[in-house]
Amino acid sequence: MRKLWRHAQLTTLAGDAPWGRLADGALLTSGERIAWIGRDADLPRHLDVDAEHDLEGALVTPGFVDCHTHLVYGGARDDEFEARLHGASYAEIARQGGGILATVRATRQASDESLFASARRRALALLTEGVTTLEIKSGYGLTLADEARCLRVARRLGRELPLTVVSTYLGAHALPPEFAGCPDDYIAAVCAWLPALHAEGLVDAVDAFCETIGFSRDQTRRVFDAARTLGLPVKLHAEQLSHQNGAALAAQYGALSCDHLEYLDAAGIQAMAAAGTVAVLLPGAFYFLRETQPPPIAALRAAGVPLAVATDHNPGSSPLLSLLLALNLACTLFRLTPEEAVRGATVHAARALGLADRGILAVGRRADFAVWTLDHPRELTYWIGGCRPSRVIAGGQEVNRHALIATGSSLSA
Ligand code: NIG
Ligand code: FE
């Protein structure tokens, strides 16, 4: 199926021109890929196409990539939000058995079907804003069976929704109660489970939470060694609440990304730059936890570390289901430029997932794009709410979001 999209203001993000903009552009898709892109006036004559769409000057961007989410879980943590408003801290709540472990209890109790239905609703909220690629981490099961269940839900979302889902094993997210006092034994179990999860095709990458309330550098290293044995790429929740030297360790393993990074130091930045590791900025968690130390953006920029932006959707530190709001927060709180923020949720986010076939609009890339009735792409970072693409195309196919939402509500009722 060859489809021609004409008279678009293309924001290709390709090349060195600001935004890779092409006024009055055209784009030809062939199956899942972009077959031609350029100025409408330069379209080859006598093109053989199955369908032609006139976009009447609308803005077209690459589909968004949300490269860090914890989308599959049971329950919610609005009670902790309220407790924090009364003075409790995120780390205190975690030490008292709440936090991640509260969600672990709810996730273990939830049926496969309810985990799927709630994650599907969340995925559709992101898709509605133009997200066409989504990373989903496990980490709320913390037994082999429950981690596998959550990863299977992620895979099923990728099969049943018009989205690419990348799944990340985050067994080293928190210490489950059955291993209380024995974190090294738990890490041994996390490593022992990985081959079975991988053999079932459930794992694209391996992550860990390197933090005082998570796992140490040495424990993180053991998880990374297990990943390396299987040839799986790694990434890390690093330097979120304190400086642990996790980013430098992850860079030694050629990590795809280090994420959060509020307490990253100069050595970590250099290690990431040398390894080509992407810095994934998560302003939703920074905002929701009322953190005060932003990541060292200027130094990361100066070192040439690619900056990505993601929602970090999870029930504890970032119950955020809007990548567009994450872009606005990245600009207001972290001082990214609008173009940096948009590149951070497209081309650099794709790189954080090891995906070289998307994130820009260019011949041969996936035909994932969103159409917006906006005049300039920086508006994507400017409006706070209310901005939705008029059309979303994933793998060359137009996504019928209303039909998907209607089907889901009857299934999950
Ligand atoms: O990315 N930092 C660790 N993990 C999540 C929070 C998980 C939770 O609180 O449930 C994060 O912020
Ligand atoms: Fe996270």
Ligand lying closest to the C-alpha of residue 316? 1
Q: Which residues line ligand 1 (CB under 6 A)?
A: 70, 99-100, 103, 209, 237, 240, 285, 312, 314-318
Closest ligand 1 atom, CA of 237?
2
Closest Cα to atom 3 of ligand 1: 209
**Token pair of 37, please?**
């892109």
Site of tokens 């360790």: 249
Residue 63, number of CB atoms within 10 A of its CB: 28
Q: How far is the CA of 235 from the centre of ligand 1 (A)?
A: 14
Q: How far is the CA of 199 from the centre of ligand 1 (A)?
A: 27
Look at residue 409 in the predicted model and tell me its pLDDT.
54
Query: Each residue of 119-138: pLDDT tens digit?
Result: 999 999 999 999 999 999 99
| Res. 46: pLDDT tops 90 | no
Q: How far is the CA of 294 from the centre of ligand 1 (A)?
A: 17
- Among candidate residues 53, 153, 411, the one with its CA nearest the CA of residue 403: 411
Report how far apart, in Å, the C-alpha atoms of 244 and of each of 151, 189, 214, 234, 400 are.
Answer: 28, 23, 11, 17, 45
Average confidence score pLDDT of the chain: 96
Closest ligand 1 atom, CA of 240?
2
Ligand lying closest to the C-alpha of residue 286? 1
Closest Cα to atom 9 of ligand 1: 316
Angle between helices 100-109 and 144-160 (to 10 degrees): 80
Q: Average pLDDT for residues 260-278, to the nearest whole number? A: 98
Look at residue 131 in the predicted model and tell me its pLDDT.
98
Angle between helices 183-199 and 144-160 (to 10 degrees): 40
| Res. 40: pLDDT tops 80 | yes
Ligand lying closest to the C-alpha of residue 67? 2
Report how far apart, in Å, the C-alpha atoms of 10 and of each of 7, 38, 43, 60 are.
Answer: 9, 9, 14, 5
| Res. 410: pLDDT tops 60 | no
Query: Each residue of 148-160: pLDDT tens digit?
Result: 999 999 999 999 9
Look at residue 413 in the predicted model and tell me its pLDDT.
30
Residue 367, number of CB atoms within 10 A of its CB: 26
Q: How far is the CA of 68 from the centre of ligand 2 (A)?
A: 6
Closest ligand 1 atom, CA of 241?
2
- The one-letter amino acid code at 383 reads W
Site of tokens 């409006």: 383
Q: How far is the CA of 384 from the centre of ligand 1 (A)?
A: 24
If one residue of 66, 135, 286, 317 were mutated to test the ligand 1 pocket, choosing by the most ligand atoms within 8 A of its CB, it would be 317
Query: Each residue of 186-224: pLDDT tens digit?
Result: 999 999 999 999 999 999 999 999 999 999 999 999 999
Query: Each residue of 364-398: pLDDT tens digit?
Result: 999 999 999 999 999 999 999 999 999 999 999 99
Whole-number Å distance between alpha carbons of 271 and 253: 10
Residue 262, number of CB atoms within 10 A of its CB: 22
Q: Are 346 and 357 in contact (CB under 8 A)?
A: no
pTM of this prediction exceeds 0.85? yes
Q: How far is the CA of 312 from the centre of ligand 2 (A)?
A: 5
Whole-number Å distance between alpha carbons of 288 and 122: 18
Rg (the chain; Cα; Å) = 21
Q: How far is the CA of 57 from the centre of ligand 2 (A)?
A: 38
Q: How far is the CA of 237 from the centre of ligand 2 (A)?
A: 6
Closest Cα to atom 1 of ligand 1: 312
Query: Each residue of 163-189: pLDDT tens digit?
Result: 999 999 999 999 999 999 999 999 999
Percent of the chain residues topping a pLDDT of 70: 99
Q: How confident is the model at residue 15 (pLDDT cuts 50, 70, 90)?
A: confident
Closest ligand 1 atom, CA of 312?
1
Whole-number Å distance between alpha carbons of 81 and 104: 17
Three-state secondary structure string covering the chain: CEEEEEEEEEECCCCCCHHHEEEEEEEEEECCEEEEEEEHHHCCCCCCCCEEEECCCCEEEECEEECCECCCCCCCCHHHHHHHHCCCCHHHHHHCCCCHHHHHHHHHHCCHHHHHHHHHHHHHHHHHCCEEEEEEECCCCCCHHHHHHHHHHHHHHHHHCCCEEEEEEEEECCCCHHHCCCHHHHHHHHHHHHHHHHHCCCCCEEEEEECCCCECHHHHHHHHHHHHHCCCCEEEEECCCCCCCHHHHHHHCCCCEEEECCCCCHHHHHHHHHHCCEEEECHHHHHHCCCCCCCCHHHHHHCCCCEEECCCEECCCECCCCHHHHHHHHHHHHCCCHHHHHHHCCHHHHHHCCCCCCCCCCCCCECCEEEECCCCCCHHHHCCCCCCCCEEEECCEECCHHHHHHHHHHHHC
Ligand lying closest to the C-alpha of residue 174? 1
All residues with CB under 5 Å from ion ligand 2: 312
Closest ligand 1 atom, CA of 260?
1
Q: How far is the CA of 264 from the centre of ligand 2 (A)?
A: 16
CA atoms within 13 A of residue 325's CA, in its CB half-sphere: 18
Q: Average pLDDT for residues 70-93, to the nearest whole number? A: 96
